[in-house]
Each structure stands twice: as structure tokens, then as C-alpha cells.
Structure 1
Amino acid sequence: MSLSTEYPFTLPKGYLDDDGTLHREGVMRLACARDEVEPLRDPRVKDNEAFVTVIVLSRVITELGDLGRVNTRIVEGLFASDYQYLQDFYRIINFGDPAVLLDQEPGTPFPEGTAMPA
């Protein structure tokens, strides 16, 4: 039995970079404790607690289209629906919470088999 640690995803809308290229396909890895603890030390979180999610997502998204490293600027530039999608996707792969699928817009492209990680 093996543990999957990386999960592909497809953003509903996609990230539009400065050159006008749309990036929809990506990969998110499972989070470790450090991914959730380290952002709490970031001064941006002291000003806005919600920014912790931006930092966490920038740490666990390992691929997004043909972009290099995903950083907080990229996550901040996501459309709101894609940002929400990634928050839900994070909960599904890390905590096995398929209930978030009930709130998804019909046709949202969650890959098969991501509702309950093995």
C-alpha cells in the first residue's frame, strides 16, 4: 500500500499571468505541519489572519501550468472561484473532507479519486 502525496487539479477558470497566458493544470502536495505553522510567523499574517491561507497554498502548490515556483503573489492573483477551489481541494486531500464537494458549482473539475486520499 502506498500513500499518494501529490494530486493533480484543474482550476475552474485559471491563473492569467502578466503575459496573458492562462494556467489551469496544476499539482498540490500533501501539507506537513511546517506548512501550517511557519506562516503564523509571517508579519503579513499579523496584519491579516486570512493571509495564512495564501501562504499555505503557495507552499503546497508544486506546479501551475508552466509557471516556475508558485508564490504568494500568484495565489493573490487567482480569481476568487479558483482560490476557493484550491482551499476546498486542500481540505479534501489533507483531511478527507468530501463534504466540500456538496458546495461546488456543478461541473467543477475535481479529478476522480481525490475525495478520500489513500
Structure 2
Amino acid sequence: MSQPSLQTEFEFTLPRGYVDDEGTVHRDGRMRLATAADEIKPLNDPRVQENASYLTVLLLSRVTTQIGTVDEVSPDVVESLFVPDLEYLQELYERINDGRTDFEDVTVPDDETADSTSSIEPDEPLNVDQGEKTTAEEDSEPGNS
């Protein structure tokens, strides 16, 4: 009995692209699943303690493994992204790290003695409500202070 493999890295294409110091535009990249350390360690960073919104920058720099030919995505790289690209990466982070997405298409037979089967396909798009806002987005809207 084999377990379905867990997809831990996801390819993406940024809407605008990261522009490096030489003017090269990098759009294709990869993001990995976050670990507990990815979400805990940045909380001790003084930049996050001073400005909670900076947590997003640190989280994305930890889990984004590549943008174009940039193999080390630092907080400086994330800070340099255009707003639509930052929003895209935030949404992608939420989608791939949402615990429910791994189980959306799992089917379990009625017979308890039968093996469980899964129809999870790692390359299928993840279904996520696009209308939800994060707390940080709501706080940054005009009139919310």
C-alpha cells in the first residue's frame, strides 16, 4: 500500500515580475510549503516587532525558493516586488499552506477493510475563495486605523 506523494514545492509566474539591479525581469519562480519554524522564527525579528506587516516579507522570503535566476530570495528581493506580485505571493502562500487543500478530493471507501484511495493531483489548481481578505489587508484599508 503506497501513500500519495506530498507536493512540497509549487511553481508560479508573477503577474509583473521582479526587476533586478541590471534591469532583468524575473517572473517564474518556486515556493515551498511553510514549516512551523518559518512562521515562528520571524516573530522574534526586531523589524516584525516594530512593524507587524513586515512578517509577510520575512515569511515570503523564507518560503520562496527561486524567482527567475535569483536562487536566494532575500527580504530585500521581496521588498522590491511590485504590489501585484507581493499580493500574488501572499495569496499563493495562503493557498498552498491551507491544510484543507490537501484533502479536498480524497475519497474513502465505505468498507472499513478496503484501502483508502486519493484522487489528489498535485498539478491541479487549488480551489480557494478569492474574496477573503487577511487581517493585515483589512487594517491597511483607508478608514481603518
TM-score (norm 2): 0.68
2:60 is matched with which residue: 42, 57, 61?
57
Q: CA RMSD in A?
A: 1.5
TM-score (norm 1): 0.83
Q: Which amino acid aligns with 2:56?
A: T
Name the structure, 1 or 2, with higher relative contact order (CA <8 Å, separation 6+): 1
1:97/1:21 Cα in 2 relative to 1: closer, same or farther (>3 Å)?
A: farther
Q: Which amino acid aligns with 1:34?
A: A
Q: 3-state SS of the aligned residue for 2:11?
A: strand
How many correspondences in the alignment?
103
Q: 3-state SS of the aligned residue for 1:78?
A: coil
Q: What are structure 1's unaligned runs of at least 5 residues? A: 99-111
Structure 2 residue aligned with 1:68: 71
Point out the structure with max Rg over C-alpha. Answer: 2
Q: Deviations over 1:56-80 (max 9, x none)?
A: 0000001110013000000000000
Q: Distance in 1 between matches of 2:47 and 2:67?
A: 24
4+ long deviations beyond 3 Å:
none
Q: Distance in 1 between matches of 2:33 and 2:46?
A: 24
Q: Distance in 2 between matches of 1:38 and 1:91?
A: 18
Q: How does 1:93-112 map to 2 (within 5 A)?
A: 93-95=96-98
More helix by share: 1
Structure 2 residue aligned with 1:10: 13
Percent identity between matched residues is 50
Q: Which amino acid aligns with 2:94?
A: R
Q: 3-state SS of the aligned residue for 2:84?
A: helix
Q: What are structure 2's unaligned runs of at least 5 residues? A: 102-122, 128-145
